[in-house]
Amino acid sequence: GSRSHIGITGYGAMVGVHLEDDDAVLTTTSGYPTDRTVFGAFGLDAAVEVGPDATLFAEVAATDRLSAKAMAVIVRAVWERKPWELDVSARYLGDDFDNPHARGISMSDQWMGNTDRGEIGLRADASWKPAKWIRLRLGQDVWRAARWNDPSPTASNPAEKTHLWRNETYLRVDGYPFKWWTVGAYGLFRDNDLETSGWTWTDPNGDDEGLDYGYNGEQWRVGAQTSFIPLKWMRLDLNYQVKFFHDAKLSLEKKLQKGHYTYIKIGVKPVHWLTVSAR
């Protein structure tokens, strides 16, 4: 079928760090593997049509470590039948899957100093367009992430990883009242750590015991955007977003932080081979 395929990919790389100190090592936050200078990855991916409305995708990859913890597997199914679209995927990326040149969902995920992906998760996205002038979207992602217990290990205290659950829920409504005008509103809830914040903070009053705030990592975002096409060669976009979040580094009293974000973008296409935009 037109949507079916099979592919193979791979690469090899070598990193040289020229330092006078032979005992120098890269930190755990390095974007490259910290225990070897030659590394690489290879993988196999495929897609197959399952009837006229559904497609299955799968990809298996491994790094040069050649172990189960250094492998990644992603399985995805997409079903489309108007007015519905459904996209469901499951993923496993081992704790040692340190592939700095990975793409898409397999890219490094720096979290508490850990750049290895180290993730197990399930994601679902649904879209419903009951009429040509409106579309509803709902997304849910739950995954287990890996992070360093201590991003600055020593010989007597080597780096170890712990696993924490994270969540993201997304809801969006888009309206298309006219061909030249679209409007949308969305809300997002994200919890970077469902069990504990992972942060410790010393009380400014002299308490040497680190304080661990469970609220850290939670955030809520709500926003709206609209687009206008007053002329065939001009487009105007307006976006406004409010972000609410807990951050123990900013608020020892667990106060809710708030940020406002807005932008205006205009684009013009005076001739068919040139587009100019400003934001």
**pLDDT, block means (10 residues), the chain with 279 residues:** 89 82 68 80 94 94 89 95 96 86 62 65 96 96 79 64 85 95 95 55 45 60 96 96 72 70 96 95
Q: What is the pLDDT of residue 185?
A: 98
Q: What is the pLDDT of residue 207?
A: 47
Give the closest residue to 178 by CA, choosing from 228, 240, 110, 108. 228
Q: What is the pLDDT of residue 198?
A: 42
Q: Is the dihedral of CA 24, 28, 29, 34 positive or negative?
A: positive
Q: What is the pLDDT of residue 199?
A: 43
Instruction: Determine the straight-line distance between the first and last CA of the chain, rounded to whole angstroms.
Output: 42
CA dist., res. 90 & res. 81, Å (int): 22
Q: What is the pLDDT of residue 116?
A: 63
Q: What is the pLDDT of residue 203?
A: 45
Q: Residue 41, class by beta-carbon neighbours within 10 Å (0-12 exposed, 13-18 middle, 19+ buried)?
A: buried
Q: What is the DSSP string of the chain?
A: -TT-EEEEEEEEEE-----S-TT----TT-SS-SS-SEEEEEEEEEEEEETTTEEEEEEEEEETT-SGGGEEEEEEEEEEETTEEEEEEEEEE-TT---TT--GGGS---BTTB-S--EEEEEEEEEEEEETTEEEEEEEEEEEEEEES-SS--SSS---EEEEEEEEEEEEEEEEEETTEEEEEEEEEEES-SS-----EE-TTS--SEE--TTTTEEEEEEEEEEEEEETTEEEEEEEEEEEE--TTT-TT-PPEEEEEEEEEEEEEEETTEEEEE-
Q: Which residues of 109-143 are buried (b: 16+ CB within 10 A; e: fewer)?
A: bebbbbbbbbbbbebebebebeeeeebebebebbb
Do residues 224 and 176 make contact, with C-beta atoms less than 8 angstroms apart? Answer: no
Flag whether the pTM goes above 0.85: no
Q: What is the pLDDT of residue 194?
A: 59
Q: What is the pLDDT of residue 251?
A: 47
Q: What is the pLDDT of residue 254?
A: 59
